[in-house]
Amino acid sequence: MFGDYSLADLSSIFVMQGFAGLILFSVYVLMALGLAIIFGQMGVINMAHGEFMILGAYVTYLCSTFFQEHLPALFSAYFFVAMALAFLASGALGMLVEWALIRHLYKRPLDTLLATWGLSLILQQAYRSIIGPREVGVELPTWMMGSIPVTDSIEVQINGLFVIAVTTVITLGVAVLIYRSRFGAQIRAVMSNRSMAGAVGIDTEKVDRYTFGLGCGIAGIAGSAFTMIGSTGPTSGQLYIVDTFLIVVFGGAASLLGTIASAFSISQTQSTLEFFLSGSMAKVLTLLAVVAILMLRPQGLFTLKVRR
Amino acid sequence: MTSPKTSPEKSSLQSLSKAVTVNDNPFMKPIEWVSLLLLAGVILVVLPLVLDGFRLNLVGKYLTYAFVALGLVICWGYAGILSLGQGVFFGLGGYCMAMYLKLEASSVENTKIQSTPGIPDFMDWNQITSLPWFWQPFHSLPLTLLLVIAVPVAFAFIISVAMFKRRVGGTYFAIITQAIAAILTILIVGQQGYTGGINGITDLRTLHGWDIRTDSAKVILYFVNGGLLLGCILMAQYVKKSKLGRILVAMREKEDRVRFSGYSVAGFKVFAFCLAAAFAAVGGAMFTLQVGFMSPSFVGIVPSIEMVIYAAVGGRMSLFGAVWGTLLVNFAKTSFSESFPDLWLFGLGALFIAVVLAFPNGLAGLWREHVEPRLFRKAKGLAPTPTPVLPAHGAPAE
Amino acid sequence: MAKDTSDTENGLRSPLRRKLLMGMAGLPALAMMPRPTFAAAPTSAVNTTGLAVTDTEVTVGILHSATGTMAISETGTIQAEKLAIAQINEMGGVLGRKIKIIQEDGASDWPTFAEKAKKLLVNDHCAAVMGCWTSASRKAALPVFEQYNGLLYYPTFYEGLEQSKNVIYTGQEATQQILASLDWVSKEKGAKSFFMIGSDYIWPRTSNKIARKHIENVLKGTVVGEEYYPLGHTQFNSVINKIKLKKPDVIFADVVGGSNVAFYKQLKAAGIDLSKQTLLTISVTEDEIDGIGGDNIAGAYSCMKYFQSLKNPNNEKFVAAFKKMWGEKTVLGDVTQAGYLGPFLWKMAVEKAGSFDVDKVVAASPGIEFKEAPEGYVKVHENHHLWSKTRVAKALPTGQFEVVYESPELIEPNPFPKGYQ
Amino acid sequence: MNAAILPSAPIGTPADDKNFLLAVEGLTVSFDGFKAVNDVSFYVDPDEIRVIIGPNGAGKTTVLDLICGRTKASSGSIKYKGQELTKLSESAIVQAGVGRKFQTPSIYDDLTVFENLEISFPRGRSVFGALTFKRDAEVRDRIHEIAQTIFLKDQLDERAEFLSHGQKQWLEIGMLLIQDPELLMLDEPVAGMSVGERIKTAELLNQIIKGRSVLVIEHDMKFVEDIAHRVTVLHQGKVLSEGSMERVKTDPKVVEVYLGH
């Protein structure tokens, strides 16, 4: 297995595979973070998560064309504007969906699954009708392309670095928001005891709406970031949904730290296996391992042992 | 403890039960006989008379999905286990059947242009020179018929024992079954030398020498399919009416209470899941026979979730509703997508949402609320039981 | 449209009819009137098997995915087929009968293709069907065409290993697409080592198998890697690392769909400069570049039989007509062009046979030549595939291709290549 | 069976399995380091009515959870008629003869009263048994008998969700009764009841506890005094005191943490 490579090659392999794994890790965290909030904190199974991501991607696409045509001077910075708008658009749609749909279903988690699946079909068709069935190519500013050579054989992708940076910022932001802010305290209060939270004067409906919106907004940012590495089409969102759910469940739904740990272990397993096996088998083995571990340890990686 | 200890007061109460007749538990209530006859009449008489061969074959195809929906009524409606991987069992049943048919179609004679005659064409394309061991049993028809059921049920058994013994339930179960569907799809597509890959197993011709592609064969298969479906409904009805059916409902509501009444909850869930898998497998096998091929596109997540909506539209607690729901959604799909292909997904999406928000009891609920009362105003003799009151959270006892 | 007509009808064999039709094309009002009977044989004579043919009309089916994941790819083909049929009608139709289209949606779902194929044949009695895109949809529908003796014109380049009486394959089978381009890259770039990456299903695997045999047995090169990823996979960093380490002379890629987009974006991001690293793909047409982004793939070589930028009068007219009908922004790819061939090949075969009967049309098909094809001259082979040229073109940042190589001769289709299985 | 004899074994006497129906020894469970139940030992005789009292969070319900297998013990042993329960599954524990009533009424809303009782009928508990279970005369008679005992004979065909709160409690007691357990565990059986219901419940309990051992958690001291043979006081997961109600009431430790308030 290693015989084909020289020692120097091997060390480069490990460095670059480590970096590839790190990018995959960031991608997974970004995908799963919004869902971890929605599923982990609220118990809602949002099957339309991928479509919220794609909304962010489409917003980025529209931004890129807008800047190209009207503000070419600022094109190199458009991506930041696009990410902010993606957050707002997906978040706003999320709040609308919460108001119209989700709030009626808090006691029926399996029904949220069906309803949001229906929503995902509607969104897909909406994208198809409005923007068209073809995939759209998102132009990136030149500074985000290419890679930085570290040594002769080791190069670091700029957009990979960018994804890692975005993930870090968003994750820290969410952690601070949930564990340090007043709004976070309210979220946690509502999620742990709804009626008590209501009794102490927290507007639980509002908290629900903003929480759902937050989760969807983060999905929008993820979608925006993914235009750098993936495809943007009406059905692209479906590519992500199984992976995303597995990451959240594997991490132990209620814990952000768990989601991160789970994204880390899954991404490292997958990128390592991918290097030594074929891509399909790597994927199958990774998913199988996750499912098998979940069967043995259904509470996921990081769940506190609690009194039932 | 298998029999109760009798207590001293018992004798004084002996006569009491004789006066009470209402808690009789007949196999089917009159209204259920009416529903059954109605369904049987439509499937076995009306549709074959009204539809041409092409449309009838289509209905036959839809009815194979109804097996899955029927299983979901037991497993989801009654036992509260939502599986998003029913396509796995539909597919496994279908693949088992397809493997037999493919071997028959790949006789040495038919495949003499191949470098290895006598094996399925796709194996030959993938440089496989002898039939893999797991294809061997499918030379035999009786063994195939057994495996059509046994393979999916064994798979369901392994999954469900592993998960229910560890009390994985609800949303987690749904997500894990969905992941299993994804894994199996990737596996089937990737191992194309053994499975036919993304194209599936196609060009199936004869069943034990009988050409299944002829129009007369299609009609016969349609009736076999309809008969099997009615048989499965009766089987499901038996389960529903047995104490097991009530235990499933009880479990869905108060799992702990059932456990502390001395039942092994996991065992009952495993049974419900395996039964649903068996139904799905029969549907898959009938699908293969009627449509003439099987492909991984039935195993994945999308068809699996679509099959859930059939059960939901029919009414997740209604066996007959499952069949009507399947027919309705598929007719809608066919006619909508013929005239307004763009609108179809909007319609399907809206259907999902409406069924959850506005009609949690589906067609069966509408029937019970609007049709039955009128029916019985006219024919009072038919209705010895009052219409059950629908609970707020949408889980009626049928 | 009239201008197109006068060029396109050169394929017709009868000078008399040509003159007649030219006149009609110039007089649209007249063309709308019922066809005079002297121009067409009686329906009973040209249709003995109960197809949907009247004195004025013949029904043809179009069966592609208008919805679902494949709609992205199949839309262009539908448009091309409709354009071809409109042009044929403009010219006076087939045996004096206008073509009426019944379009069905396969919805990216294989059994639906089988179901709709059956509907088109059994209920609508279509004289021919232009349809299917993926191999899986064709495999699903094929038994239906064979059972009901229908006629399918299949436009996509595909893996071969098939030859049906009831199908005319207007795209390339794998050897037509691959062998000449490998010869070219070996000769032109001196390539010796190849790294193959594909989506994990039958077409890439079969194509790579053929390519590998050719590389190893004919070109005496080596394959240093062969990798497959599940359809829809979007993370290619690991395989890109492998490519960097193996340093192959050529990356041979047949990744499809959404994965395609991810692959090229990540390749570019990883600093693999396609102007220095030769990449040969058999799965990227102008349609795909739309989604990938011209910048991301500029410099890659694609092997197809048709590119929108082909410089010949036929193609310029085709592109102009297509854009006129479907909008300036549309792009045309290989399969779009192959879809455009179908109705014309059928029309010529029907007219050669003097009948709409499928058996007669099939019998008349081999040897049909279409000189006005946008890709240039094509001819139907005995095995129902087309003789056509192979071209290699370099992707430009604009999303268009610049043709750098064209096989000097038409390449014979060989769906069951000896020595490559 | 000699129901009236009060056992007099002091706290901490090592268990002689033959003498006790239930012997709990050194029972400990911790949730993330917090010891909800800490080295608890007590012994219940045949036919004894034992009440567990203690302030909120003392670990009372957890003790019942441990006995019936709902929670797994970290250490310690629970012997029921000489059989170790900590190794058994919940359903096996029930089948051994231990019945448990939950704090909030735990009945099946979607089923009728009759069906609720029928499910609890201790026959056909295997999957196959449930499939072939027949609603025969024995079942019917037994259900009607129980229904009469729990004041619900007129509600047999009513869906359980339409019962009043008190009726639901009775139904659950009935569901236990039909299993005829030798050890009956009741978690706050009179909580949330009206005065009338409470009186009827006390009457019911007095009737059904005959001939079996009962372990009761209750806050209502009047009720406790009425029924208890002996009382065990739990505090912060430990046994604080044990003995007759009179003795416990005067125990200064108990007075300080509990009754004194």
Q: Does C300 touch chain A (CB under 8 A)?
A: no
Does one domain contain both A154 and A282? no
Q: Is there a contact between B341 and C416 if contact means CB atoms under 8 Å apart?
A: no
pLDDT tens digits for C381-416?
999 999 999 999 999 999 999 999 999 999 999 998
- Which residues make Cβ contacts (< 8 Å) with residue B106, sequence separation at least 6? B118, B119, B120, B121
Q: What CA–CA distance (Å, rounded) separates B199 from B295?
A: 6
Predicted complex ipTM: 0.84
In a domain, C419, yes or no: no
Q: Does D64 touch chain B (CB under 8 A)?
A: no
Does one domain contain both A183 and A112? yes
Does one domain contain both A290 and A232? no
> Of residues A41 and B140, which shows the higher confidence score?
B140
pTM of the model: 0.86
Among A149-163, B107-121, B125-139, which stretch is predicted with the lowest mean pLDDT? A149-163
Residues of D in contact with A305 (CB under 8 A): 31-32
Burial of B251 (0-12, 13-18, 19+ CB in 10 A): buried
Does one domain contain both C128 and C271? no
- Supply B368's token pair: 């019970």
Q: What CA–CA distance (Å, rounded) separates B118 from B296?
A: 24
For residue D99, the SS3 value is strand
Q: Is there a contact between C205 and B122 if contact means CB atoms under 8 Å apart?
A: no
In a domain, C413, yes or no: no
Q: What's B385's DSSP letter?
A: S
Domain span at residue A285 reads: 242-308
Burial of D126 (0-12, 13-18, 19+ CB in 10 A): middle
In a domain, A8, yes or no: no
Q: What's D7's DSSP letter?
A: P
Q: Is the per-residue pLDDT at B8 higher than 80?
A: no
Does one domain contain both C293 and C379? no
Q: In this complex, which chains have at least 3 CB pairs below 8 Å with chain B?
A: A, C, D
The band of D205, judged by pLDDT with boundaries at 50, 70 and 90, is confident
In a domain, A80, yes or no: yes
Does one domain contain both A303 and A156? no
Burial of A305 (0-12, 13-18, 19+ CB in 10 A): exposed
In a domain, C319, yes or no: yes
- Which residues make Cβ contacts (< 8 Å) with residue D129, sequence separation at least 6? D123
Q: What CA–CA distance (Å, rounded) separates D147 from D167?
A: 11
Query: A305 to chain D, minimum CA–CA distance in Å?
Result: 6
Query: D179 to chain B, minimum CA–CA distance in Å?
Result: 7
Q: Quick one: pLDDT at residue C265?
A: 86
The band of B381, judged by pLDDT with boundaries at 50, 70 and 90, is very low
Does one domain contain both C129 and C214? no
The band of A197, judged by pLDDT with boundaries at 50, 70 and 90, is confident
Q: Is there a contact between B168 and A284 if contact means CB atoms under 8 Å apart?
A: no
Q: What's the number of domains chain C is made of?
A: 2
pLDDT tens digits for C364-373?
999 999 999 9
Q: Is there a contact between C262 and A27 if contact means CB atoms under 8 Å apart?
A: no
Question: Is B351 within 8 Å of B306 (Cβ atoms)?
Answer: no
In a domain, A125, yes or no: yes
For the segment C179-192, the average pLDDT, to the nearest whole number, is: 92
Q: Is there a contact between C269 and A157 if contact means CB atoms under 8 Å apart?
A: yes
> Of residues A296 and D260, which shows the higher confidence score?
A296
Which of B9, B258, B260, B385 to probe by mutation at the D interface, max D CB count within 10 Å?
A: B260
Does one domain contain both A126 and A250? no
Q: Is the per-residue pLDDT at D15 higher than 50?
A: no
Residues of D in contact with B274 (CB under 8 A): none
The band of B13, judged by pLDDT with boundaries at 50, 70 and 90, is very low
Q: In this complex, which chains have at least 3 CB pairs below 8 Å with chain D?
A: A, B
Q: Is the per-residue pLDDT at B373 higher than 80?
A: no
The band of A3, judged by pLDDT with boundaries at 50, 70 and 90, is low
Q: What's the number of domains chain A is made of?
A: 2
Query: A302 to chain D, minimum CA–CA distance in Å?
Result: 13
Question: Is B383 within 8 Å of B304 (Cβ atoms)?
Answer: no
Closest by Cβ to D175, choosing from B259, B261, B267: B261
Q: Quick one: pLDDT at residue B10?
A: 40
Q: Does A76 touch chain C (CB under 8 A)?
A: no
Does one domain contain both C126 and C216? no
Single residue among A236, A262, A281 that ends a domain in this structure:
A236
Q: Does C64 touch chain A (CB under 8 A)?
A: no
Q: Is there a contact between A108 and B393 if contact means CB atoms under 8 Å apart?
A: yes
Q: Is there a contact between C202 and B202 if contact means CB atoms under 8 Å apart?
A: no
- Supply D183's token pair: 């050890």
Q: Is the per-residue pLDDT at D258 higher than 70?
A: no
CB hemisphere CA count around C30 (13 angstroms)? 11
Q: Quick one: pLDDT at residue D259?
A: 52
For residue D251, the SS3 value is coil
Does one domain contain both A178 and A253? no
For the segment A261-270, the average pLDDT, to the nearest whole number, is: 88
Residues of A in contact with C239 (CB under 8 A): 274, 279
Does one domain contain both C36 and C161? yes
Residue of D nearest to B388 (CA): D159
In a domain, C415, yes or no: no
Domain span at residue C296 reads: 174-304+391-406
Which of B239, B240, B257 to probe by mutation at the D interface, max D CB count within 10 Å?
A: B257
Q: Quick one: pLDDT at residue A17?
A: 81
Does one domain contain both A100 and A171? yes
Closest by Cβ to A118, choosing from B175, B349, B360: B349
In a domain, C129, yes or no: yes
In a domain, A14, yes or no: no
Q: Does A107 touch chain D (CB under 8 A)?
A: no
For residue D60, the SS3 value is helix
Does one domain contain both A276 and A213? no
Closest by Cβ to C72, choosing from A27, A134, A226: A134
Q: Is there a contact between B260 and D94 if contact means CB atoms under 8 Å apart?
A: yes
| Chain center to CA of C63 | 14
CA angle B52, B57, B59 (to 5 degrees): 95
The band of A254, judged by pLDDT with boundaries at 50, 70 and 90, is low
In a domain, A10, yes or no: no
Q: Is there a contact between A229 and C294 if contact means CB atoms under 8 Å apart?
A: no
Identify the sign of the CA torsion C228, C233, C237, C238.
Answer: negative
Beta bridge partners of D29: D37
pLDDT tens digits for C212-258?
999 999 999 999 999 998 888 888 888 888 888 888 999 999 998 77
Report chain C's mean pLDDT, rounded to a whole number.
87
Residue of A nearest to B162 (CA): A295
Q: Quick one: pLDDT at residue B397?
A: 33
Q: Does B50 touch chain A (CB under 8 A)?
A: no
Does one domain contain both A130 and A255? no
Q: Does A68 touch chain B (CB under 8 A)?
A: no
In a domain, A3, yes or no: no
Query: C269 to chain A, minimum CA–CA distance in Å?
Result: 5
Q: Does B14 touch chain D (CB under 8 A)?
A: yes
For the segment B31-48, the average pLDDT, to the nearest whole number, is: 91
Q: Does B158 touch chain A (CB under 8 A)?
A: no
Q: Quick one: pLDDT at residue B378?
A: 57
Query: A252 to chain D, minimum CA–CA distance in Å?
Result: 16
pLDDT tens digits for A40-95?
778 888 999 999 999 999 999 999 989 988 888 888 888 899 999 999 999 999 99
pLDDT tens digits for C116-162?
999 999 999 999 999 999 888 999 999 999 999 999 999 999 988 89
Which of B291, B305, B342 to probe by mutation at the C interface, max C CB count within 10 Å?
A: B291
Q: Quick one: pLDDT at residue C336?
A: 95
> Of residues B350 and A148, which shows the higher confidence score?
B350
Neighbours of A57 (CB within 10 A): 29
Does one domain contain both A157 and A137? yes
Q: Quick one: pLDDT at residue B87?
A: 95
Closest by Cβ to C105, choosing from B199, B295, B341: B341
In a domain, C412, yes or no: no
Report chain D's mean pLDDT, rounded to a whole number.
83
Q: Does A75 touch chain C (CB under 8 A)?
A: no
In a domain, A7, yes or no: no
Cα–Cα distances in angstroms (integers) from residue C278 to residues C192, C250, C402, in the given order:
12, 5, 15
Which of A10, A25, A135 to probe by mutation at the C interface, max C CB count within 10 Å?
A: A135
What's the CATH number where C294 sits? 3.40.50.2300
Mean pLDDT: which of A186-195, C212-221, D54-63, D250-259 is highest? C212-221
Q: Is there a contact between B243 and D133 if contact means CB atoms under 8 Å apart?
A: yes
Report chain B's mean pLDDT, rounded to a whole number.
84
> Of residues B65 and D255, which shows the higher confidence score?
B65
Q: Is the per-residue pLDDT at A158 higher than 80?
A: yes
Which of B121, B337, B345, B348 to probe by mutation at the C interface, max C CB count within 10 Å?
A: B337
Q: What is the residue type of A8?
A: A
For the segment D221-232, the average pLDDT, to the nearest whole number, is: 84
Does one domain contain both A219 and A285? no
What part of B 73-92 touches A (C-beta under 8 Å)? 76, 82, 84
- Supply C183's token pair: 């010869």
Does one domain contain both A196 and A247? no
Query: B38 to chain A, minimum CA–CA distance in Å?
Result: 29
CA angle D54, D59, D60 (to 5 degrees): 60
Domains and CATH numbers, chain D: 22-259 (3.40.50.300)
Percent share of chain B, pLDDT over 90: 48
> Of residues A70 and B289, which shows the higher confidence score?
B289
Q: Is the per-residue pLDDT at C24 higher than 60?
A: no
For the segment A245-267, the average pLDDT, to the nearest whole number, is: 84
Q: What CA–CA distance (Å, rounded) separates C178 from A243?
A: 35
Which of B21, B238, B252, B261 to probe by mutation at the D interface, max D CB count within 10 Å?
A: B261
Query: B121 to chain C, minimum CA–CA distance in Å?
Result: 9
Percent share of chain A, pLDDT over 70: 94
Does one domain contain both C46 and C100? yes
Does one domain contain both C189 and C241? yes
Give the A:B interface size as CB pairs under 8 Å: 118
In a domain, A85, yes or no: yes
Percent share of chain C, pLDDT over 90: 63
Residues of A in contact with C268 (CB under 8 A): 145-146
Q: Quick one: pLDDT at residue B19?
A: 39
Q: Is there a contact between A231 and C296 if contact means CB atoms under 8 Å apart?
A: no
Crossing angle of helices A158-180 and A7-35, in 10° steps, is 40
Residues of A in contact with B180 (CB under 8 A): 291
Residues of D in contact with B265 (CB under 8 A): 91
In a domain, C265, yes or no: yes
In a domain, C237, yes or no: yes
